[in-house]
DNA sequence: GCCGTTTTCGGCCCGACTGTTTTCAGTCG
């Protein structure tokens, strides 16, 4: 069993224990353990053999033993027994908003409810409202939750969430009562998908802000509204939360609602070790009775989040890095990178025109790149095997190359256009064009577009990609796994081996910035870049507007700890030309 | 179940909101 599968088992054990009413800290230990295992870099088998698995924080004796058993045998009796004792319907019930382990247990023990169907039945028969601790409103909420659970539990692409959040944030900032407003949560951290929107506002009078928020045109339902906190449901089931705090509390709250759970736990522990208590209210002496409440007397006045980090002896941690991995240890050592910024990009290489499956002409794309102030634009239409995308055969490709050369000579646009191709990697790892054709291009983006039944054969897919990377004409590898976020899993591929092959052959790996892809995943970038892989952030644009996807790519690159130096398309035109020329001469 | 610059035992982040309660439990983030 591999690392991801084992992590999933640990995660499930945690959930099952929770439903069993186990000690919540034990439950958390399993969830933490699952994350710790997922975050582990390198080869799991090697770690087990070297007996160093327990060195990872969060993995103690018991978890190491269970992970080892699962790794070696693929089975775990403890897990099987646990699973056998809990109806699968109870796990499903956790997905209903408002239902947690305690309520589910009560429903199961007192009404024999063990599935969503029986739960619906019990609600309809008014049996749920009669249970102690339940009532008519709870029963109604459960029914609504079951009806809408798919829409409500769905996550949303970062790009979509961003565009839903921007007008609300702009509107909040315009209100007279609002002194400061920000969004927080996974949106601010730049996670590839977002569960809900979090808005944070500093204002002395929350009332008008709350009212404005709940009355927004996009609001379909107000699900909660108190004095300082409100939740609403927007179109598409996207939930948005607003919190209003006093101005002196703003940066404490912003930090609190931005960090992942793990990051916050680590920050609080760090504060405690210094005799301080950190909460969204402020940073107070540990024994101060006002701590953690509205009267909190903070030991510092935070004028930025940086002030909070500074007080705890840390260099400021950018929001994208606050996932609770090792960013705090690195911040303590002053070893955080200066992350890449949107303004660092000078162009991009993987884009399409209407010659294949794009919606705009070469000239329209060049004009859009000019408008963005880019120095260069790489056109890489599909190759002939991608007939579903009207891939270009040799003749059309060479005609396009000629057209690009003429366009550059005409000086019609400021931007320099590079002639490339997104060349299919065929089933056996060969490329879709002969070397004589590839030699006439400025660069080659190699890409897998069909799985040929290799979707489930990791070794075959890995070999296919590695072989392509060994081809002297290939410049960069496109969308490593072919995943489509929230739609389709990527094919199985040994990322580690692909990274090694890229390093060995001096090939770039793309960070495909299309919001539906964001592939290679940010979780691999730090490690890959450390090994020497050069990143290229490509929008995979099929229209002029699509070029802007690079903004999503930069977010994800930042999450992957990438600096400007590690991203190829931050380089100026002169450097890029020289690099590509040298690569083609090899 | 994990962890240790007071601890190998006894902690483990903590507040808002809701709905159910007459003072709080459960859920959520």
The separation, in Å, between residue A304 CA and nucleotide B15 C1' comes to 22
Residue A148 in this model has a pLDDT that exceeds 80: no
Residue A505 pLDDT greater than 90, yes or no: yes
Closest CA to A233 of A173, A152, A167, A138: A152
- CB of A63 within 8 A of CB of A69? no
* Statement: residue A294 has pLDDT above 70: no
- Residue A269: nearest nucleotide (C-alpha to C1'): B13
Domain total in chain A: 5
Any strand B atom closer than 7 Å to A585 CB? no
More confident residue, A42 or A550: A550
The answer on pLDDT for A22 being more than 90 is no
Q: Are A537 and A553 in contact (CB under 8 A)?
A: yes
Averaged pLDDT for residues A446-464: 76
In a domain, A441, yes or no: yes
Whether any strand B atom is under 7 angstroms from the Cβ of A58: the reply reads yes
pLDDT of the residue at A292:
60
Is residue A120 a part of any domain in this protein? Answer: yes
Q: Is the distance between the Cβ of A494 and the closest atom of strand B smaller than 7 Å? A: no
Q: How far is CA A83 from the centre of its chain?
A: 30
- Strand B nucleotides, any atom under 7 Å from protein beta carbons: they are 1-3, 5-6, 11-21, 25-29
The pLDDT, as a whole number, for residue A451 is 65
DSSP class of residue A414? S
**A116 CA vs B19 C1’ separation (Å):** 22
Is A156's pLDDT higher than 70?
Answer: yes
pLDDT for residue A288 is more than 80: no
Residues in chain A, total: 586
Q: Does A291 score more than 70 pLDDT?
A: no
The domain that holds A30 is classified in CATH as 1.10.150.110
Mean pLDDT of A253-259: 94
* Of the candidate ranges A15-19, A177-181, A519-523, the one whose mean pLDDT is the lowest: A15-19
How far apart CA A218 and CA A274 sit, in angstroms, is: 45
Same domain? A410 vs A428: yes
Asked if strand B comes closer than 7 Å to A138 Cβ, the answer is yes
Cβ contacts of A395 within 8 Å, gap of 6 or more: none
Examine the domain organization and report whether A295 and A391 are in the same domain. Answer: no
User: Which of residues 63 to 122 on A have a Cβ less than 7 angstroms from any strand B atom?
Assistant: 63-64, 97-104
Task: Tell me, yes or no, whether A231 lies in a domain.
Answer: yes
pLDDT at site A275: 85
- Domain harbouring A282, CATH code: 3.30.210.10
Span A47-76, mean pLDDT? 90
Predicted confidence band of residue A403 (pLDDT cuts 50, 70, 90):
very high
Residue A146 domain-assigned (yes or no) = yes
Q: Check pLDDT > 70 for residue A295.
A: no
Q: Encode pLDDT of A435-447 as tens digits.
A: 999 999 999 999 9
The pLDDT confidence band at residue A452, using thresholds 50, 70 and 90, is low
Q: Is the pLDDT confidence value at A454 over 60? A: no
| Residue A221 placed within a domain | yes
In the predicted structure, residue A527 carries a pLDDT above the cut 90:
yes
| A172-176, A259-263, A370-374, range with the lowest pLDDT | A259-263
A295 and A358 in a common domain: no
In A357-439, beta strands by DSSP E: 376-382, 416-424
Nearest nucleotide relative to A26: CA against C1': B1
Choose one of A293, A311, A332: the last residue of a domain.
A332
Q: Are A260 and A31 in contact (CB under 8 A)?
A: no
pLDDT band at A460 (very low <50, low <70, confident <90, very high): confident
CA–C1' gap, A87 and B9, in angstroms: 35
**DSSP 8-class letter at A561:** T
Q: Which of A332, A365, A394 is the last residue of a domain?
A: A332
pLDDT of residue A273: 86
Task: Give me the percent of chain A exceeding a pLDDT of 90.
Answer: 59
User: What is the helix (H) or strand (E) element at residue A243, kind and residue range?
Assistant: strand A239-245
B21 C1': nearest CA residue: A133
Nucleotide whose C1' lies closest to the alpha carbon of residue A60:
B2
Kindly state whether residues A501 and A353 are assigned to the same domain. Answer: yes
Query: Distance from residue A110 (CA) to nucleotide B12 (C1'), in Å?
Result: 31
Asked whether residue A42 falls in the same domain as residue A125, the answer is: no
Nearest C-alpha neighbor of A574 from the set A346, A368, A379: A346
Provide the residue range defining the domain that includes A263: 250-332
Give the three-class secondary structure for A298. coil
- CATH label of the domain that carries residue A117: 1.10.150.20
| pLDDT for A362 | 93
CB atoms within 10 A of CB A117: 11
Given this model, what pLDDT does residue A456 score? 60
Contact A148, A239 (CB under 8 A): no
Higher-confidence position of A493 and A569:
A569
Say if A42 falls within a structural domain. yes
pTM comes to: 0.79
Round to a whole number and report the distance in Å from the CA of A138 to the C1' of B20: 9
Strands, E assignment, A397-492: 416-424, 443-447, 476-477
CA of A229 to C1' of B10 (A): 35
Give pLDDT tens digits for A417-433.
999 999 999 888 889 99
pLDDT for residue A2: 85
Same domain, A255 and A352: no
Whether A337 is in a domain gets the answer no
Q: What confidence score (pLDDT) does residue A498 get?
A: 95
Residues A188 and A146 reside in one and the same domain: no
Q: How many Å from the CA of A101 to C1' of B10?
A: 25
A138-to-A98, A122, A127, A334, A433 alpha-carbon distances in Å: 8, 13, 12, 50, 63
Q: Does A189 fall in a domain?
A: yes
Categorize the per-residue pLDDT at A315 as very low, low, confident or very high, splitting at 50, 70 and 90. very high
Q: How far in angstroms lies nucleotide B8's C1' from the CA of residue A103?
A: 36
pLDDT confidence band for A81 (50 / 70 / 90): very high
Residue A555 confidence class, pLDDT cut points 50, 70, 90: very high
Cα distance between residue A451 and residue A368, in whole Å: 33
Q: Do A69 and A126 fall into the same domain?
A: no
Average of pLDDT values for A289-305? 76
> Tell me, what's the pLDDT at A33?
87
Q: Across all residues in chain A, what is the average pLDDT? A: 90
Give CA–CA dist A31/A169, Å, rounded. 33
Residue A203 sits in a domain whose CATH number is 3.30.460.10
Shared domain for A277 and A220, answered yes or no, is no
Token reading at A266:
């680590």
Domain end marker among A63, A84, A105? A84
Query: Is residue A136's beta carbon less than 7 angstroms from any atom in nucleic acid strand B?
Result: yes
Report the protein residue whose CA lies nearest the C1' of nucleotide B5: A273
Q: How far is the CA of A184 from the C1' of B2 (A)?
A: 29
A183/A113 same-domain check: no
Report yes or no: A490 and A478 within 8 Å, Cβ to Cβ: no
Query: What is the predicted pLDDT for the residue at A44?
Result: 87
- Res. A455: pLDDT tops 70: no
Q: Nearest protein residue to B17's C1' (by CA)?
A: A226
Q: How many C-beta atoms surround the C-beta of residue A269 within 10 A?
A: 11
Residues A179 and A124 in one domain: no
Give, in Å, how far the C1' of B26 lies from the CA of A322. Answer: 28
Which tens digits make up the pLDDT trace of A157-172?
Answer: 999 999 999 999 999 9
Same domain for A138 and A53: no
């Amino acid at each position: 069993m591999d690392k991801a599968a084992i992590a999933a088992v640990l995660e499930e054990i945690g959930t099952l224990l929770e439903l069993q009413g186990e000690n919540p800290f034990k439950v958390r230990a399993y969830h933490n353990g699952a994350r710790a295992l997922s975050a582990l870099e390198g080869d799991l088998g090697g770690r087990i053999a070297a007996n160093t698995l327990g060195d990872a924080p969060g993995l103690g004796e018991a978890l190491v033993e269970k992970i080892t058993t699962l790794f070696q045998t693929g089975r775990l009796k403890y897990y099987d027994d646990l699973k056998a004792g809990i109806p699968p319907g109870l796990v499903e019930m956790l997905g209903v908003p408002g239902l947690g382990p305690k309520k589910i247990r009560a429903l199961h023990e007192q009404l024999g409810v063990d599935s969503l169907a029986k739960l619906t039945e019990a609600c309809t028969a008014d049996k749920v409202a009669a249970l102690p601790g339940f009532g008519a409103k709870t029963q109604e909420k459960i029914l609504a939750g079951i009806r809408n659970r798919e829409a409500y539990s769905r996550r949303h692409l970062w790009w979509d969430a961003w565009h839903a959040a921007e007008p609300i944030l702009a509107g909040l900032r315009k209100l007279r009562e609002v002194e400061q407003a920000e969004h927080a949560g996974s949106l601010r951290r730049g996670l590839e998908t977002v569960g809900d929107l979090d808005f944070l506002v500093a204002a002395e009078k929350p009332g008008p802000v709350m009212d404005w928020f709940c009355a927004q045109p996009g609001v379909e339902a107000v699900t909660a509204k108190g004095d300082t906190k409100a939740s609403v449901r927007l179109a598409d089931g996207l939930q948005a939360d607003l919190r209003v705090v006093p101005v002196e509390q703003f940066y404490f709250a912003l930090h609190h609602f931005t960090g992942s759970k793990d990051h916050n736990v680590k920050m609080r522990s760090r504060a405690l070790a210094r005799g301080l208590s950190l909460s969204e209210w402020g940073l107070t002496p540990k024994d101060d009775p006002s701590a953690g409440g509205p009267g909190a007397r903070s030991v510092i006045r935070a004028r930025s989040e940086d002030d909070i980090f500074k007080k705890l002896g840390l260099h400021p941690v950018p929001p994208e890095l606050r996932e609770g991995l090792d960013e705090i240890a690195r911040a303590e050592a002053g070893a955080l990178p200066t992350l890449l910024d949107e303004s660092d990009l000078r162009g991009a290489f993987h884009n399409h025109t209407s010659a294949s499956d794009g919606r705009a002409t070469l000239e329209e794309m060049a004009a859009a790149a000019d408008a963005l102030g880019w120095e260069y634009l790489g056109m890489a239409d599909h190759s002939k095997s991608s007939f579903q995308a009207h891939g270009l055969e040799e003749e059309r490709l060479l005609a396009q190359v000629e057209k690009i050369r003429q366009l550059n000579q005409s000086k019609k646009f400021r931007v320099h256009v590079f002639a490339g191709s997104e060349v299919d990697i065929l089933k056996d790892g060969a490329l879709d064009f002969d070397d004589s054709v590839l030699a006439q291009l400025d660069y080659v983006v190699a890409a897998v577009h069909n799985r040929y039944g290799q979707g489930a054969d990791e070794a075959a897919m890995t070999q296919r990609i590695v072989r392509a990377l060994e081809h002297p004409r290939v410049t960069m590898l496109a969308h490593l796994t072919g995943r489509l976020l929230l739609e389709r899993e990527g094919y199985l591929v040994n990322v580690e081996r692909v990274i090694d092959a890229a390093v060995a052959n001096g090939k770039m790996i793309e960070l495909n910035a299309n919001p539906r892809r964001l592939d290679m995943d940010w979780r691999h970038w730090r490690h890959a870049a450390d090994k020497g892989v050069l990143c290229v952030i490509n929008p995979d644009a099929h229209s002029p507007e699509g070029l802007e996807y690079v903004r999503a790519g930069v977010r994800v690159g930042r999450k992957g700890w990438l600096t400007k130096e590690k991203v190829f398309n931050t380089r100026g035109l002169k450097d890029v030309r020289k690099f590509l020329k040298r690569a083609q001469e090899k």
